[in-house]
Amino acid sequence: MDLKSFFLFYIVLALRYLFIAGPAFYIFYKLYQLKFSSRKIQSRFPRSKDYYREIGYSFFTFIIFALIGVILMLPTVRSHTQIYTSIAEYGWAYLVLSFGLALVIHDAYFYLTHRLMHHPKLFKAFHLLHHRSTNPSPWAAFAFSPLEAVVEGSIIYVIALLIPIHPLAILAFLLFMTVYNVYGHLGYEIFPSWLVNSPVGKWLNTSTNHNMHHQYFKGNYGLYFRFWDEVFKTTHPNYDATLVKLLTEPKEGEYADGKLNPYYSTSLSAKKSTTEK
């Protein structure tokens, strides 16, 4: 095995995770927790040990992802893929198109494998660990069991076998996948109502959609889009109502589900104390 390539892949994966999930966690769980409380999907917060578990398993996942990358670069493997290195071979327009095609392929692959991993005979070995985050944080985006990590990471082989794809398109795809995955596990709904209610936006998967999957374990199996959930009627029956409630401005100091935000009363008391002085 090429150890240099392995360590390079691992460092890139780890840094990508830290620089995307880290700021998301700091902004929504530390810095502006009060400000964004009305968009908190579940009013409760994970425990500290949940964060540590999510981070620990994510860093283990990157070992498997890095190995997948090294294997893909082996001449005997790469020769069977459609990876190309000269942009002129297909042009810039196709490079952009291939990025979109990669998302569509990944979405179909994710829905299929995700539903399979929920089968009673596969769930414990493949997917239970990820579902220990019933109220996920941004750190949960890659908290997989080793078997699930292999399944998730193998999408790159599927894409490289099905379509011609340039390394730049692969990098863009992996970056977008990470951002959307962190958004899906954010625990907050940050999409504006105008986007969610638009003709295109209504087919986009939301953080609410995936959070409900973690909370209830059934339904909402998609990743980027809601096509497959709608086709196979696996959208959670309360999804639309939950999303509408989150996008409707609640009373001051309350979460979207109507529960009082304890940080609000504390902050209010502090403000009064400062004013009195």
Q: To 10 degrees, the CA torsion angle through 17, 228, 149, 183? A: 20
Residue numbers of the domain that contains 97? 3-276
pLDDT per residue as tens digits for the range 216-258? 999 999 999 999 999 999 999 999 999 999 988 655 555 555 5
> CA quadruple 174, 175, 178, 180: dihedral positive or negative?
negative
Q: Which residues contact 150 (CB under 8 A, 6 or more apart)?
A: 64, 68
**Rounded Cα gap, residues 12 and 24, in angstroms:** 18
- In the chain, what percentage of residues exceed pLDDT 70? 89
Averaged pLDDT for residues 166-185: 98
Instruction: Report the length, in residues, of the chain.
Output: 277
Residue 270: what pLDDT?
A: 44
Query: What is the band of 111 on the pLDDT scale with cuts at 50, 70, 90?
Result: very high
Residue 271: what pLDDT?
A: 43
pLDDT per residue as tens digits for the range 42-101? 989 999 999 999 999 999 999 999 999 999 999 999 999 999 999 999 999 999 999 999
When divided into structural domains, the chain yields a total of 1
Averaged pLDDT for residues 149-178: 98
What the block records as the tokens of 151 is 């399944």
Query: What is the band of 262 on the pLDDT scale with cuts at 50, 70, 90?
Result: low
Residue 2: what pLDDT?
A: 83
Residue 258: what pLDDT?
A: 55
- In the chain, what percentage of residues exceed pLDDT 90? 84
Is a pLDDT exceeding 70 seen at residue 194?
yes
Is a pLDDT exceeding 50 seen at residue 137?
yes
Distances (CA, A) of 141 to 89, 104, 159, 206, 216: 35, 19, 21, 14, 17
